[in-house]
Structure 1
Amino acid sequence: MPVASVPTVSVIMPSYNHARFIPSAITSILDQTFFDLELIIVDDGSADDSVDVIKTFVDSRIRTVFSETNQGAAAATNKAVSLARGTYVALCNSDDRWAKNKLDVQLSIFKNQPDLAAVFSDVAWIDSQGAPLDPSNPSFSNVFQQENRNRHQWLHDLLLGGNCLCHPSILIKRDALNHAGPYDNRFRQLPDLEKWIALVQFGEIFVSPEKLIEFRIHESNTSAANPDTNRRTVNEFRLIVRDAFYKMSADNFAASFGLKAPPLVSETHLKIEKALFLIAHRGAFEHFFREAGLDLMHELLASDDAQRLLSDKYGYNVNTFYSDMGASSPWIVDPKRSVGADIDLTTIPTRHLANQVMKRGLEFMEAKLKRSPK
């Protein structure tokens, strides 16, 4: 069957060191029941045989880019997106596989709900050999089983609960993908979460309950659990939360998180609502929210107009800020967890606090040097 000069769907596939997995990924796309597609593979400087493996596939629908150096997954994805010509764009990781009818199912959903910006799906989990994983393993196996909701509810839940949308399951209108902006290559773990937060601020999405992709779990997954990955994920989420709230429009904030003193009368009023929400939030990662809120409130209190608005509408003043600043700190998670920490940091007189922190830092370095091999 011939392919139209401008295909309906552009499938993008960033590739990096997945020579043993990429044949099944490519085959699962070329074998789709929906034929009118192009497959854009961007190999991001693989050090294994990925490029040679990719070159064994001969199909007029395949377009390839082979980078000499590794730029990062988000950069490779952005390159593929820039080459996409289809009305819709889908992404397949080079170590995953698609169900044969994935595109047909999702395009049918678009046909019935033409105002949607994107369609996601649930996943089936497989191991490095392609065998199904036990339904209870991994422990997060139900993370992509999501009830559908409106975009403001999605915005609320993504920011307060984290990512629950499967990136390689997406089929998205190319115009919507471009509107949401490029993937941020400064993020290794969560560039997709930042993208979804941007997306639901203007477009509705839908999650199909069908398991339309096979998501492979193996030791070299970008998301494979290890201390560096976990720390990086937490740090990236903190930055994403802060930037999302700071940049969010009045309409999206009000509809997703509510207002304490409506209606909004100015940009300063919006910033106050955001700061108070962030400071008051309780739950997972509440330290991120509080830190972002205190930073914003610190900025606001430099303005006489903001101080008047805070006092008149919320009964909030600089003394309230002092209290909020003293309530907790993300930098003292466990006051006693430090080398030589026989004194709780929160009980040390302020005038001695800096010296005590420096002393513990020196003790830590000395202990580390003693443990180092000669």
Structure 2
Amino acid sequence: MRGDGFNAMISVCMATYNGEKYIHCQIASILKQLASDDELIISDDGSSDGTLSIIEGFCDSRISSICNVGAPGLLFNIENALRLAQGKYVFLADQDDVWLPGRIAEMTSALHEFDVVVSDAIVTDQYLTVTHPSLFQLLGSGSGIIKNLIKNTYVGCCMAFRKTVLEAALPFPQDTPMHDWWIGMIGELNFSICFLRRPLLYYRRHDANLSCTVFGSKYAIKQKFVWRYVMSKNLIRRQLEF
């Protein structure tokens, strides 16, 4: 039983791919905060390095390691993990970050009041040397449907949400560009949102990162327009299904 006053089961979902360089540190930082009946669900997208061996080396019953059974890529890999989440509260985790002590306790406390909670993060380089004290400050993070349709500030590794939000977000539309953006917008339309201004993880940036959140977008204006059209279309369609 965790000592935060909230005993609902926690599910942490992580997508992995060739993450041997940093994943041990991240998993260790998560397990320290999980209760005995919580779970860490890891979906691997065909890693060819030592990622799976490192995961198996923890020999921890709270870890469920599975292979991605959907299309390759981050969107379907993380959805593969999320579909198995049993907890009342669901956390997203990247394979290369480090969670700060108290992250689960503080975010679970906020989830007692809000449906979606997003924490700030300390941005670091590959060696965990701080490069910026606030990811929120860099992104201009905050709630708002139009704000986040124009510029997404929902970063998956910073997010946790109630199981009811996950049920509304799944399945991910196949043409959705980003899972965190989709979950955040579903939250904006149907649930309560909280942006915690306290950094609760080290957000590690390095050459192998899949996202370009801090380094700036590499996509052309036309692609960005298409993504916003697709997001709007899918949100309208999902709303009509409720």
Q: Same fold (TM over 0.5)?
A: yes
Contact 2:212 2:218 in 1 (8 A): no
The equivalent of 1:201 in structure 2 is 189
Contact 1:43–1:66 (CA under 8 A) maintained in structure 2: yes
Is the 8 Å Cα contact of residues 145 and 185 (structure 2) preserved in structure 1? yes
Structure 2, unmatched stretches of 5+, are none
Amino acid at match of 2:123: W
Please state how far the C-alpha of 1:86 moved relative to its aligned partner.
0.4
Structure 1 unaligned residues grouped into runs of 5+: 253-374
Residue 231 of structure 1 corresponds to which residue in structure 2?
219
Q: Is 1:75 equivalent to 2:76 in the alignment? A: yes
Identify the structure with the greater helix proportion.
Answer: 1
- 1:131 equivalent to 2:129? Answer yes
Change (3 A) 1:41 1:126: same
Letter in 1 for 2:49: D
Query: Does the alignment pair 1:191 with 2:179?
Result: yes
TM-superposed deviation, 1:73: 0.8
- For residues 104-141 of structure 1, the C-alpha deviation after alignment (integer angstroms, 9 at most, x for no partner) is 00111123x2xx221011101121122222549xxx77
Give the total of aligned pairs.
231
Structure 1 residue 92: Cα displacement: 0.5
- State the identity %: 25
Look up the match of 1:265.
none
Q: Give the deviation of 1:191 after TM superposition.
A: 3.3
| Cα drift, residue 187 of structure 1 | 4.9
Could you tell me which residue of structure 1 aligns to residue 146 of structure 2?
A: 156
Pair member with larger Rg = 1
67-76 vs 211-220, which moves further: 67-76
**In structure 2, what is the Cα distance between the partners aligned to 1:68 and 1:110?**
30
CA distance in 2 between partners of 1:126 and 1:222 (Å): 16
Which has a greater percent of strand? 2
Give CA-to-partner distance per residue, 1:349-368, whole Å, 9 cap, x none. xxxxxxxxxxxxxxxxxxxx
- CA RMSD for the aligned pairs? 3.0
Give secondary structure in 2 for the equivalent of 1:200: helix
TM-score when normalising by structure 1: 0.55
User: Which secondary structure does the structure 1 equivalent of 2:137 belong to?
Assistant: coil
SS of alignment partner, residue 171 of structure 1: strand
Residue in structure 2 matching 1:182, options 163, 171, 185: 171
Equivalent runs, 1:1-374 vs 2, <5 Å: 8-32=9-33, 36-67=37-68, 71-111=72-112, 113=113, 116-135=114-133, 142-144=137-139, 146-147=141-142, 154-160=144-150, 162-184=151-173, 186-187=175-176, 190-224=178-212, 230-231=218-219, 234-246=221-233
The structure-2 alpha-carbon separation of the partners of 1:68 and 1:78, relative to structure 1 and needing over 3 Å to count, comes to closer
Aligned equivalents of 1:69 and 1:176: distance in 2? 22
Cα distance in 1 for partners of 2:20, 2:174 equals 23
Preserved CA contact (<8 Å) 1:78 1:183:
yes
Contact 1:45 1:68 in 2 (8 A): no
Larger displacement relative to structure 2 (209-218 or 62-71): 62-71
Q: Considering Cα pairs closer than 8 Å and 6+ residues apart, tell me whether 1 or 2 has the greater RCO.
A: 2
What does the per-residue CA deviation read over 1:136-170, in whole Å, with 9 as the maximum and x for residues that have no partner?
A: 9xxx77235645x5xxxx1021123x111221111
Matched residue SS, 1:83: coil
